[in-house]
Amino acid sequence: LNHEKTVMQVHYLKGFFLLRYLEGIAGRNVFLQTLRSFTAAHLGRLFSSKEFLDYIFENCCNLRESGLTVAKVCDDWLDCPGKPYHLNSFSDAIECSLVTQVKNQVAVIKEAVSRKRVRGQRSQNTDI
């Protein structure tokens, strides 16, 4: 993780964990084959997250059969700030060093935001 680009990396980390979450449900081989076919079909083209997820769900029967939907994934992972509750189910043993780095970085971000709020409140109080 690059400590100078913390906020920008959050989206990439969230995306990484979303892909790992979907892979866990779909099955590694099927998921990777679906990623390969999607990449080949969309090479050099722009696409939305929804288009990507639609393709993944169409081609990974375990995702469809799990009861999970594209709308639910968008709600839980893409349309809400912060860490999705699904990350609580990830074992620390899985991607251990990355999970630890993410947890540490989230703590740093929360602390920085908290300090910024306190400073903002102090300046408002002195303006009165």
CA distance 65 to 114: 42
Give the domain CATH number at 64: 1.10.390
Would you say residue 100 has pLDDT above 60?
yes
For residue 12, what pLDDT is reported? 72
23-64 confidence digits (pLDDT tens): 999 999 999 999 999 999 999 999 999 999 999 999 999 999
Provide the whole-model pTM.
0.65
In the structure, how many helices (H) and strands (E) does the chain have? 6, 0
CA distance 32 to 29: 5
Instruction: Quote the domain boundaries for residue 107.
Output: 3-127
CA distance 109 to 113: 6
- Report which DSSP code applies to 73: H
Number of structural domains in the chain = 1
Count Cα neighbours of 65 within 13 Å in the Cβ-side half-sphere: 7
